[in-house]
Amino acid sequence: MAGKAFAVQRSAPSERTSAASTSKSIWFVVAGAALWGVDPLFRILLLKVLTSSQIVLFEHVLLLFYAVPVLWIHRAELRGLRTRHLFALLFIGWGGSAIATILFTTAFAYGNPNSVLLLQKLQPLFAILMARLVLREALPRLFPLLLIMALVGAYLLTFGWTVPISEWTDVLALSSLLSIGAAALWGGSTVMGRLLLDRMQFETITALRFTVALPLLIATTWIEGAGWQPPEHFPNWLALSGNLLLQAFVPGLLSLLLYYRGLANTKASYATLGELAFPAVGVLINWLVFHQPLSLAQLCGFAFIWIVFFYISRQR
């Protein structure tokens, strides 16, 4: 994917954001997050023969076919990186991609799944706080209302009208701390990605994210020590290989290219709300493919989230 001419000098976030209308950029973020929602379509078959760690590892190995050529072509962007840029890369590649997923998965094994899902909805709050502290982003006057609408919409998509916690002591459990840690890492990854986009092109960041995460994924899969039973028949091999390729290059590569393309001209505090397209599309996939009915509460959640998207798309 061709990029525009790259200038080594870092431009101020306000200049970069004002250079292009958020009306287009936010929809790239939404499209990238929406592709994450189709992940189960490819992952279900893979989980029959592979663990989650193995799937993610194989995806990253396949994505080296994209990452290595891009890093070679854009190697000039890697010169003179400061300590904060290296920290941001590690935060995204290790924290957002690997550690957060491990924390979130482990949380389900230790506590109430509803409390885990509920506390994960704090992710936008962490992103907005870090955007204010790290990027000095100013929030518009109506932003608190947008945030409330987005959080209510996400809640309705997940839980409907019900109160998911019968005993609020579950919120103080170890699983809740793990869930909050995952939410903080995912929210922080949005901010760190926005920081790096003031220094390099979105294609380069996508390639670096896959490359930096690979050593940690290898170590995690090695420590896990899980076996693998390959399919016995050729048609199953073909289906497995096809699903792995689609998993790697659709909700993997394409989604992040769209996401970082949009994030380049979108405030991190807005982008974190755009990421709510992920659970929204996930609910749609459950309805269309797995025939789980949509409730009135989920439809209201959709409405809240898309009103927020539309309002953000009208901003500059």
For residue 20, is pLDDT > 60? no
Compare 103 and 171 and report the one with higher pLDDT: 103
In this prediction, residue 44 has a pLDDT band, given cuts at 50, 70 and 90, of: confident
Distance CA 101, CA 99 (A): 5
The length of the chain in residues reads: 316
Q: Tell me which residue of 169, 151, 163 sits closest to 279, measured CA to CA.
A: 151
Q: What is the mean predicted confidence (pLDDT) over 226-252? A: 77
For residue 7, is pLDDT > 70? no
For residue 1, is pLDDT > 50? no
Q: Are 4 and 197 in contact (CB under 8 A)?
A: no
The per-residue pLDDT for 223 is 87
SS3 helix, strand, coil % of the chain, rounded to 5? 75, 0, 25
In this prediction, residue 53 has a pLDDT band, given cuts at 50, 70 and 90, of: confident
Report angle CA 261, 263, 264 to the nearest 5 degrees: 70
In this prediction, residue 17 has a pLDDT band, given cuts at 50, 70 and 90, of: very low
Neighbours of 125 (CB within 10 A): 15
The per-residue pLDDT for 168 is 57
Q: What is the mean predicted confidence (pLDDT) over 226-241? A: 68
**H helix or E strand, kind and range, residue 274:** helix 268-274
Distance CA 265, CA 13 (A): 9
**Alpha helices in 74-201, H assignment, sequence order:** 83-90, 100-110, 113-120, 123-134, 143-159, 174-196
Distance CA 27, CA 29 (A): 5
Distance (Å) of CA 224 to CA 102, 219, 239, 313:
12, 9, 25, 43
Q: What is the mean predicted confidence (pLDDT) over 173-193? A: 88
In this prediction, residue 141 has a pLDDT band, given cuts at 50, 70 and 90, of: confident
In this prediction, residue 8 has a pLDDT band, given cuts at 50, 70 and 90, of: very low
Q: Are 90 and 99 in contact (CB under 8 A)?
A: no
Q: Which residues contact 291 (CB under 8 A, 6 or more apart)?
A: none
Residues 10, 191, 136, 267, CA torsion sign? positive
The per-residue pLDDT for 170 is 56
Q: What is the mean predicted confidence (pLDDT) over 24-44? A: 88
Instruction: Phi first, then psi: give them for residue 220, nearest 5 degrees.
Output: -65, -45
Question: At residue 172, what is the residue type?
Answer: L
Q: Which residues contact 108 (CB under 8 A, 6 or more apart)?
A: 116, 175
Rounded to the nearest angstrom, the gap between the alpha carbon of residue 307 and the centroid of all alpha carbons in its chain is 21
Distance (Å) of CA 43 to CA 240, 270, 278:
10, 29, 16
